[in-house]
């Protein structure tokens, strides 16, 4: 017997699937709700590393389970809407939403399948980042959170200018990651004890935060790809 899920959708209404415009509006609200849960996951994921807070691990597991539930329900709802008699424009909107949900789910996976297990390992040891290393991780974490919040704003507002700005921000963040990794390697060269001991974790966290930022930026990219099709002036966006 299938166990009933403890989670529920807040906005999806089966009775409105035959009314695509209203149903899509509800689906969008549910996607944003899912996005805010994922933002919460990303926001707290460094606490085990920086504050040795292990209570966060259980919270992350619960949020991941809810995200998985919402991912399945939203995808099913959008697929059912797409089977109605809808315009090509509506099909494009459904695709953008499905794509966004996939990118958000992948961000949640980065947290639950990569950073969460590393945090569990970290807490078994008495490791501590160097002061400089900790500041670098905090700085890059803030940038990651900002880009994810921008992605949710872009999705909610369908704002092409913000989407373009996100692509430029990602280039800057990628350059920042390289610069911060270089300073990390300098500390290794200078044999800073904490840096040697925690190097593997430092590199892994930076890499996974970049993956999160990349998935967030993809939400802007798909909006630019599909949202600019009708406009000749926007065809040269790269």
Q: 3: which 2 tokens? A: 């166990």
Please tell me the CATH code under which domain 14-234 is placed.
1.20.58.220
235: pLDDT strictly greater than 50 = no
What would the DSSP string read from start to end of 104-165? HHHHHHIIIIIIHHHHHHHHTS-----HHHHHHHHHHHHHHHHHHHHHHHHHHHT-HHHHHH
> Of 2-6, 24-28, 39-43, 163-167, which gets the smallest average pLDDT?
2-6
- At residue 195, does pLDDT exceed 80? no
Q: What is the reported pTM?
A: 0.88
Report pLDDT for 196. Answer: 66
* The two structure tokens encoding residue 216: 């967030």
Q: What per-residue confidence (pLDDT) applies to 236?
A: 36
Residue 118 reports pLDDT greater than 70: yes
DSSP 8-state symbol, 19: S
Residues 152/103, Cβ–Cβ less than 8 Å: no
């Amino acid at each position: 017997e299938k166990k009933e899920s403890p989670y529920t959708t807040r906005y999806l209404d089966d009775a409105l699937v035959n009314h695509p415009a209203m149903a899509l509006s509800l689906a969008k609200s549910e996607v944003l709700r899912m996005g805010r849960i994922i933002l919460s996951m990303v926001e707290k994921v460094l606490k085990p590393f920086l504050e040795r807070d292990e209570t966060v691990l259980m919270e992350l597991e619960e949020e991941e389970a809810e995200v998985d539930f919402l991912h399945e329900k939203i995808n099913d709802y959008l697929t059912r809407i797409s089977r109605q008699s809808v315009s090509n424009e509506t099909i494009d909107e459904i695709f953008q939403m499905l794509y966004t949900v996939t990118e958000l789910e992948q961000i949640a996976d980065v947290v639950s399948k990569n950073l969460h297990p590393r945090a569990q390992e970290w807490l078994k040891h008495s490791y501590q980042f160097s002061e400089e290393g900790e500041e670098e991780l905090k700085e890059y974490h803030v940038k990651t959170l900002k880009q994810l919040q921008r992605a949710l704003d872009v999705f909610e507002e369908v704002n092409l200018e913000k989407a373009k700005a996100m692509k430029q921000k990602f280039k800057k963040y990628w350059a920042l990651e390289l610069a911060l990794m270089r300073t990390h390697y300098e500390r290794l060269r200078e044999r800073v004890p904490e840096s040697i001991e925690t190097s593997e974790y430092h590199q892994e966290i930076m890499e996974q935060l970049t993956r999160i930022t990349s998935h967030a930026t993809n939400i802007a990219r798909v909006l630019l790809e599909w949202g600019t099709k009708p406009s000749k002036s926007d065809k040269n966006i790269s």
